[in-house]
Structure 1
Amino acid sequence: MTLFNAAEYLVDRQDGGRTAVVTAGRTLTYAELAAEVRAVAAGLRARGVRPEERVLMCMVDGIELYTAILGAMYAGAIAVPCSTMLTGPELRKLVLDSRARMVLGSRMYAPAVTTAVEDAPDVTEVIFDDEWDLIGQGSLDSPYPTWPDSPALWLYTSGTTGEPKAAMHSHQDIRVVAETYGQQVLGVRPDDRCLSVAKLFFAYGLGNSMFFPLSVGAAAVLQPSRPTGDLIARLTADAHVTLLFGTPSFWGPVLASQLPSDSFSTVRQGISAGEALPPRMYHGMLDRFGVEVLDGIGSTELLHIFLSNRPGEVRPASSGVPVPGYEIALRDEHGSLITEPGVSGELYVKGESAATGYWCRTSASRRVFLGDWTRTGDTYVRNDDGTYSSLGRTGDMLKAGGIWVTPSEVENRLLEHPAVAEVAVVGVPDEDGLDRAVACVVGTPGEKVDEDELIQWCRDGLASFKRPRRVIEMTDLPRTATGKVRRNVLREIAGQVGSSR
């Protein structure tokens, strides 16, 4: 059988003298990165980590996490990077579920890690990043002889509506996303420097900061801190970043900031995912900073973006067209194929990067992974020009007066108002149990959020039944670890306020 190891593919094929990873404290060439990856792989093997065993990581973005992910795969083990936003009890669920024997952590997360591994029956060793010399014991001269289908990476979904699930990805999945979206859509090249707002424990961030740059000999710029506009602008200038990966929750505050118009002058392309990019943000980034932002949709289950706009061919308010190598289908509630444009349906995708399933979640796997197709749970519509536009999660649609209302349509209207920086529209039942649209709004700094004015603004631009019945001002919107709005939390908050005055 053909052998293929994703870590070898990413690290060993490049010019050893080229810069591979840039951090505030250290910069590694490809030769130095390869040496550290082999040392970590050897250290894991010396500590009894066997092929296909899980190595769980709760670490900040830095050289240690970077080499831990690659080193685990190089040794034939399975890398399981976990969200650093989890509490100890939340992380413990992942430790127990994964049955990891080895846990790697950053010292700053020691309280959560310690709680997570307490009395965990399978954990035999915990190593923190300030003890990293314990990892490196010699060098593993060659990668473990994995196959393309060998397991390489588990990524836990956020679990906002249920228990977290580990999407299981093979070594070949990494090459697929690098050579389709990374190279054929973004055109990643050796002189690029990639900076991602999303961290390495996200599927989105892992592709942005590892799979894409390393696959062509480019450089990844890592930063462990909360990605504020000022910080990312400063790092972009200092590191000469050319590809900047963000989310709507990042682009919105950037546009509301006082950053000068040349803050992102080195960026040749902006990229957005996580949620649909409002047209206001696309036009704002282009007009004010000269950065074209490509909106797309991906998922943990598909490892990265499978539907995307193209450079120079952006249709605002759309997710673009299928990435090469992927097929898209829309189906109605009965599973029947929708062929005509303008009719909404659930989005299905077919591509070689699909996970093999969820670890120990048979019923969930059977609902989502349907032969060659993966069911996304997103509602989409195909436009006349062949692009696809998001209408939100399938369960987020609401009825007002017996007529279906798409939250994103109301949200986009509200985002056109200068007083609105961020917004999420949810349905809240009234005293008769009928849905009423409620808008949860984060105001633009220096602007006043006036409920009556915003409701009238929607009346003026939309059919009257689509207007929100209430506007609730908030300091920020609750989000998942992947940056998606937690609409279930907003429904609870809005329900306490009420759907009518």
Structure 2
Amino acid sequence: MSETTDKPWLRYYPLDVPLTLAYPAMNVAQLLVDAAADYPRHEALDFLGRTMNYSELLGQCRKMANGLKAIGLAKGDRVAIMLPNCPQAVVAYYGALMAGATVVQTNPLYTERELHHQLADSGASVLVVLDLLMPRVEEARKDTKLERIIVTSLSDALPFPKSWLYPIKRRKEHPKLKVKYGKAGVLRWSSWLRRNASTAICEEVDAGKDLAMLQYTGGTTGTPKGVMLTHANLIANTVQTATWCVGLEQGSERYLAALPLFHVFGLTALLNQSVYRAGTMLLVPRFNLKMVLDTIRRRKPTVFPGAPTMYIAIMNDPDLDVNDLASIKLCVSGAAPLPREVQDRFEQLSGGKLIEGYGLTEASPVIHVNPVRGMRKSGTIGVPLPDTDVRIVGPDSLEPLPVGQLGEVAAKGPQVMAGYWGKPEDTAKVLKEGWLRTGDLGTMDDDGFFTIMDRMKDVIIAGGFNVYPREVEEILFEHPAVKEAAVLGVPDEYRGETVKAYIVLKEGWQASSMQLDRWCRDRLAAFKVPREYEFRTDLPQSIVGKVLRRKLKEEGGQP
């Protein structure tokens, strides 16, 4: 069987994307060392108006690395980072990698219980954290191996006069916040970093074996687990995704960093890719619409990786000007399905390309993306990246199913994880013969384009028929009054499950359950049409904008 028959998607690669790539066997932090050598004076970061060039960023990271070594960090020790998007998050990440540590990215929204689990499970000995989060940390650190806590504030990175005004604002909003520096291994970021040496340091690693990260996820088996990503995994996915984004120029692009860097999508598509391209990251602490639009107007980003909810929010802002998005060349959407209506409208507004991709934490995370040039298919996740083999398989075999048949997506490639930290049984369930069983249901067409129908656990079985939430959501999104939609199965005495839709309407628009029912019945088989509608002002979302169906079920009292 020829390669193009076995992998039909190769026919649709843009001409300037090689079928196979070379991946340097090195420490991920070498990406920054190389960028600083080639573009020392080029802006690396912009944080609400304060900038840092590559030479300055490298110096800060070296101080971080040398400081970690000075407090006794050994190669392979875990360093947890609990920060929003800010320069300190970048410095802590590359600095820890330079010291030979394994990074544990931690969501700042974690509760004490969630944080304790991650710190205890990873065995992290160092935590870099925002001062506002210290009350949670002090409780969560009990019965963990945490020895040092390095505490920073947003004021450490803000431009003047924001850096002067921020502490006043913080004291008003958090009058009881008092960090006890010098006790129980608590260090002040600004003074600690300042006194460390900035001599060159970048620990040598066995890229294929040494872990760069433990990235925690519910994963394909439900419980929170540390995904073991090697330096080779992260380098491979960075090179793959950067090469796929044809038309971007080295040392010239401006990346809008609204995705959180502690999420694996933001880590690869923003942090590592921007540094690999020697681009400028326009850091936004969180997705605040006004802050994001102000950043867009001020710095004119050219690349905007994001989630569908981000594009929806921007498009529906009443103050959006026709020229606000004109600088954007490319957007890569991930973390949740991209409705075709959103894709078309955003491209009309920006004049750039908005392409959908797909991945999961266990694959560093990107596996598929639609081509930037040439044929693409809306509603699909595109084709596998270079050196990535993907097939649709049945429940009991890794043999590929016939074209067009629904099954589980399985992937193999240099970006696939080494396994789950300390959980060999869970690893064995999803990694077989190098293939990662993703837990997602999908199909492949004759051209090698893949479509994700849904997570296996989210499929609705109504009266014996399978209903895929994404298909119903796509139809609802096409209705002119619908801003956001989520569909899930709810208990039904007669059908077992029935379809329920959660709807957020656009501002100033109205629609009734009856109107939406007629809309769906004209476009869907009767068993797929929602039987219940709930109108809401918003939908529960993850930090990257993925609708949390689990939260909707919990709110409805479902198991």
TM-score (norm 1): 0.94
Q: Aligned-pair distance for 1:235?
A: 0.9
Q: Does 1:116 align with 2:137?
A: no
Q: SS at the partner of 1:135?
A: helix
* Alignment-derived partner of residue 9 in structure 1: 31
CA distance in 1, matches of 2:322, 2:403: 39
**For the residues of structure 2 that align with 1:210 and 1:352, how far apart are their CA atoms?**
19
- Counterparts of 1:310-389 in structure 2 under 5 Å? 310-312=371-373, 313-335=375-397, 337-389=399-451
Name the SS for the 2:140 alignment partner.
helix
Aligned pairs (5 A) from 1:150-161: 150-158=210-218
What SS class does the counterpart of residue 91 from structure 2 fall into? helix
Aligned counterparts of 2:137 and 2:340: Cα–Cα separation in 1: 41
Match of 2:523 in 1: 461
CA–CA distance in 1 between the matches of 2:49 and 2:542?
Answer: 29
1:65 aligns with 2:89: yes
1:191 aligned to which of 235, 245, 252: 252
Match of 2:272 in 1: 211
Tell me, what secondary structure is at the counterpart of 2:304? Answer: strand
Change (3 A) 1:138 1:441: same
Report which stretch shifted further, 160-169 or 427-436.
Answer: 160-169
Counterpart residue identity of residue 451, structure 2: S
For 1:279, the equivalent position in structure 2 comes to 340
Measure the CA separation in 1 of the matches of 2:206 and 2:217: 25
Question: Structure 1 residues 452, 187: CA separation in 2 closer, same or farther (over 3 Å shift)?
Answer: same
> 2: CA distance between counterparts of 1:373 and 1:245?
27
**Counterpart AA for 2:307:** T
Give the AA of the match of 1:185.
C
1:146 aligns with 2:168: no
CA distance in 2, matches of 1:93, 1:35: 33
How far apart in 2 are the matches of 1:83 and 1:298? 19
Q: Is the 8 A contact 2:82 2:130 kept in 1?
A: yes
* Selected match of 1:452 from 511, 514, 522: 514
Identity of aligned residues (%): 29
Paired with 1:494 and 1:444, the residues of 2 have a C-alpha distance of 24
Q: Which amino acid aligns with 1:8?
A: Q
Deviations 1:84-111 (A, max 9, x none): 1112222111111111111110112222
The code of the aligned residue for 1:360 comes to: G
Displacement after TM superposition at 1:467 (Å): 0.6
Q: Which residue of 2 aligns with 1:395?
A: 457
Structure 2 residue 548 is the aligned partner of structure 1 residue 486: yes
Letter paired with 1:27: T
| Superposition pairs of residues 36-185 of structure 1, within 5 angstroms | 36-117=60-141, 119-130=142-153, 131-132=188-189, 133-136=191-194, 137-149=196-208, 150-158=210-218, 162-185=222-245
What secondary structure is seen at the aligned counterpart in 1 of 2:103? strand
Provide the rounded CA distance (Å) in 1 between the counterparts of 2:224 and 2:254: 33
**CA distances 1:433-490 after superposition (whole Å, capped 9, x unpaired):** 6111111111111112311111111111111121110111122222234432222232
Answer yes or no: is the 8 Å Cα contact 2:241–2:269 preserved in 1: no
> For each residue in 1:294-353, what CA deviation from the matched residue of structure 2 results, as whole angstroms up to 9, or x when unmatched?
100011111132101111333111111111121111012233534433211111111101
What are the Cα deviations for residues 142-190 of structure 1, in whole angstroms up to 9, with x where unaligned? 3112121211111111579843211111112222112111123355432
Greater relative CO (CA pairs within 8 A, separation 6+): 2
For residues 382-461 of structure 1, the aligned pairs below 5 Å read 382-432=444-494, 434-461=496-523
Write the letter of the residue equivalent to 1:459: R
Stretch moving more, 407-416 or 249-258: 249-258
Letter in 2 for 1:72: A
Matched, 1:238 2:298: yes
Question: 1:499 is matched with which residue?
Answer: none
Q: Which residue of 1 aligns with 2:181?
A: none
The whole-number CA distance in structure 1 between the counterparts of 2:481 and 2:403 is 34
Bigger drift between 54-63 and 328-337 goes to: 328-337
Q: Deviations over 1:347-389 (max 9, x none)?
A: 1111101111111122211112223111111111113432111
Is 1:250 matched up with 2:272? no
Give unpaired runs (5+ residues) of structure 2: 1-23, 154-187
Determine the C-alpha separation between the residues in 2 that align with 1:63 and 1:252.
27
1:430 and 1:112 mapped to 2: Cα distance?
41
Judged with a 3 Å threshold, the aligned counterparts in structure 2 of structure 1 residues 216 and 17 are, in CA distance, closer, same or farther, namely same
| Contact 1:391 1:408 (8 Å CA) reproduced | yes
- Hey, what's the Cα distance between the residues in 1 that align with 2:221 and 2:317? 33
Q: Distance in 1 between matches of 2:92 and 2:237?
A: 21
User: For residues 299 and 114 of structure 1, what CA distance do their matches in structure 2 show?
Assistant: 31
- Asked if 2 retains the 8 angstrom alpha-carbon contact of 1:294 and 1:310, the reply is yes
Which sections of structure 1, spanning at least 5 residues, go unmatched?
Answer: 497-501
CA spacing shift, 1:225–1:399, aligned 2, 3 Å: closer
The residue that corresponds to 1:303 in the other structure is 364
The amino acid across from 2:151 in the alignment is: F
Equivalent pair of 1:158/1:480 in contact (CA under 8 Å): no
CA distance in 2, matches of 1:268, 1:278: 20
- Secondary structure of the corresponding residue to residue 315 of structure 1: coil
Alpha carbons 1:317, 1:389 under 8 Å: kept: yes
Amino acid at match of 2:314: V
- Tell me if structure 1 keeps the 8 A contact 2:469–2:486: yes
| Paired amino acid for 2:102 | I
Alpha carbons 1:209, 1:222 under 8 Å: kept: no
Corresponding letter in the other structure for 2:362? E
| Cross-structure match for 1:226 | 287
CA gap of 1:423–1:448, structure 2 versus 1, over 3 A, is same
Contact 2:99 2:202 in 1 (8 A): yes
Counterpart of 1:135 in structure 2: which amino acid? L
Q: Quote the offset at 1:195 in angstroms.
A: 1.3
